[in-house]
Amino acid sequence: MTGKRRATTPPRRSLVSSLPSLPLVAGVAVLAISAGGAVTASGVGATALTSGSSLDASGSVGSAAGQALSRRGAVVSRDYTRDTDVEATDPELVALAEKQMAERTAKLDQMRQAAEKQAAKIKENKWVLPLASYQITATFGQYGLWASYHTGLDFNGNTGDPIMAIANGTVTSTGYDGAYGNKTVVTLDDGTEIWFCHQTSIYVSVGDNVTGGEVIGTVGATGNVTGSHLHVEVRPGGGGPVDPFQAFVEHGIVP
């Protein structure tokens, strides 16, 4: 009688043999720890490696890596800090900064002095009105009562009203001059001549230095006139006449 073959039970595989080997776990742990920073042998990671459980080991390794990262904190460059300290205390840099500040201060002082000088010059050369009370009765370039066109600016005034020098200058001519009547010529520093015409009286002489606002004569009706007034002409460089109104405006006065 043929005997029955007894079914053989496949050999059981050890649960221990199915787990990852200790060297493999250790390798994974080392990789995880190196990615997050070094830990000491006495830390949680070392304990986890000896526990014998792959679940415990992987959990402990993750925890160790997190703790390692948290311990790293902010990274500060020593070189940057050291360089900053050196720059802040470098005597050459301090000297350079002080030199630049001194140069800037000197430049600003030069600009201030130049501005003050220019302001003083403008004030000194600022023209003044020749009469205290007046009306403009004729302007430059008009035609009518004159042979060709009007060569000046007429300030209406009463006979005897004081006439003031328009700007600083030197008296270069006085006396009677035909149609202009009694006339005084004041020449400014730049060579511009100012003519004051139709005067009743003249208070200055050739060679006198006058300042703007100084009384040099009185209003009259001498020469070719229809009434008492002051005729003013402006002649740059002693040449032909230009519009006195524009000249007044350019020197800070609007008649």
- Say yes or no: 142 and 242 in one domain: yes
Q: What is the pLDDT of residues 148-177, one digit of tens each?
A: 788 999 999 999 999 999 999 999 999 999
5 assigned to some structural domain:
no
- Say yes or no: 33 and 67 in one domain: yes
Better pLDDT: 90 or 172 = 172
- Say yes or no: 159 and 228 in one domain: yes
Q: What is the mean pLDDT of the chain?
A: 76
Tell which residue, 141, 186, 164, has the closest CA to residue 230.
164
- Say yes or no: 150 and 225 in one domain: yes
- Say yes or no: 142 and 223 in one domain: yes
Q: Which domain holds residue 217?
A: 135-250
Q: State which H helix or E strand residue 71 sits in.
A: helix 54-72
- Say yes or no: 96 and 193 in one domain: no
pTM of the model: 0.55
Check residue 83 and give its pLDDT.
52
Better pLDDT: 87 or 241 = 241
Check residue 143 and give its pLDDT.
75
- Say yes or no: 143 and 244 in one domain: yes
Number of domains forming the structure of the chain: 3
Q: What is the pLDDT of residues 182-195, one digit of tens each?
A: 999 999 999 999 99
Check residue 89 and give its pLDDT.
65
Better pLDDT: 109 or 84 = 109
Better pLDDT: 29 or 102 = 102
Q: List 230's β-bridge partners, or say none.
A: 155
- CATH code of residue 196: 2.70.70.10
- Say yes or no: 145 and 175 in one domain: yes
Residue 60 CA: distances (Å) to CA of 10, 31, 66, 68, 252 = 36, 13, 10, 12, 91
- Say yes or no: 82 and 61 in one domain: no
- Say yes or no: 160 and 226 in one domain: yes
